[in-house]
Chain A
Amino acid sequence: AQTVTQSQPEMSVQEAETVTLSCTYDTSESNYYLFWYKQPPSRQMILVIRQEAYKQQNATENRFSVNFQKAAKSFSLKISDSQLGDTAMYFCAFTSTGANSKLTFGKGITLSVRP
C-alpha cells in the first residue's frame, strides 16, 4: 500500500520570504503521479502543482516549484515570495497508474504567512 507522510504539522513564514514544505512517500511502483493541493480557510481544495514520476524535470507553476527526488521518495514544495494569500493547509498526494488507482493524501501541513 502506498503511504504519504507530511511530518511537519505547522510552519510559519514571513511575507516575501521562501518556505519549503516536506513530503515523503512510499511505493513499489515505478510510474506514478504526485500532487500538492492547497486548502485555504474556505476549505476549497485547489491544485497547486502536479509531477509525473517519469519526468526528471521538476514541475514549476509561477511562485511554486517542487524538488522531486525519486530515489529518496521525496517531493517537497517550495513557495517563493510568500504572500498572505498563501496561508492555508497544504496536502501532498500520490496516485499510481494502475487500473484502480486512487489518490492517497498526507495529513497536511498548516502554513501561516506573517505580514
Chain B
Amino acid sequence: DGGITQSPKYLFRKEGQNVTLSCEQNLNHDAMYWYRQDPGQGLRLIYYSQIVNDFQKGDIAEGYSVSREKKESFPLTVTSAQKNPTAFYLCASSLWTAGNTIYFGEGSWLTVV
C-alpha cells in the first residue's frame, strides 16, 4: 500500500542525547515536511524539502537537523540543542506543485526523560 511510514511511534530520550525519527514514503512525492505538534499550538513547520539534496528551514528549525539523500526518505534528528523536544512529530509529503494536498504519516511521540 502507498503511504508514509514513520518510526518509531514512541521514543524516549535522555537529556543531552540526539535522536533520529525516520520518515519513508512510497508515493513518489517530491516534497517532504516535518511538523511539530504541541497542545494548543496547532502544527508548526520544522523543515521541508522540495527535491533531493536540498531542504529549507521552517518556522522552528533551531535544535533540529534533516537530510534528504533519497527521494523516499527524510529523517529528522532532534539534537541536544533543542531545549523542549517533548512533542508529537508528524512527517508529511506532497507533489512539488504549490497547492497540492499534503499527506501525513501516523506520527511519532518523543518524550524526554
Q: Do A and B bind each other?
A: yes
Size bracket of the A interface: 20 to 34
Q: List the 7 closest pairs (A to B, CB-CB), nearest first.
A: A45-B104, A33-B99, A107-B42, A97-B98, A105-B43, A105-B42, A101-B98
Majority secondary structure, B binding face: strand
Q: Cα distance A2–B91 when bound, in Å?
A: 22
Name which residue of chain A comes closest to B101, CB basis: A47
Residues of B contacting A9 in the complex (Cβ-Cβ under 8 angstroms):
40
The answer, yes or no, to whether B45 is at the interface (CB within 8 Å) is yes
Can you report 29 A-B residue pairs in the complex whose CB atoms are below 8 A from each other? A9-B40, A33-B99, A42-B106, A43-B88, A43-B106, A44-B106, A44-B107, A45-B90, A45-B92, A45-B104, A47-B101, A47-B103, A50-B101, A91-B43, A95-B98, A95-B99, A96-B98, A97-B98, A99-B98, A101-B99, A102-B33, A102-B45, A102-B58, A103-B33, A103-B45, A104-B45, A105-B35, A107-B41, A107-B42
Residues of B contacting A45 in the complex (Cβ-Cβ under 8 angstroms):
90, 92, 104
The answer, yes or no, to whether B48 is at the interface (CB within 8 Å) is yes
The answer, yes or no, to whether A68 is at the interface (CB within 8 Å) is no
Min CB distance, B47 to chain A, in Å? 10
Residues of A contacting B99 in the complex (Cβ-Cβ under 8 angstroms):
32-33, 52, 95, 97, 101
Name which residue of chain A comes closest to B103, CB basis: A47
Q: Cα distance A97–B44 when bound, in Å?
A: 19
Residues of A contacting B82 in the complex (Cβ-Cβ under 8 angstroms):
none
Please state if B107 and A91 are interface contacts (CB–CB under 8 Å). Answer: no
Query: What string of 1s and 0s marks CB contacts (under 8 Å) between A82-115 and chain B?
Result: 0000000001000111111111111110000000
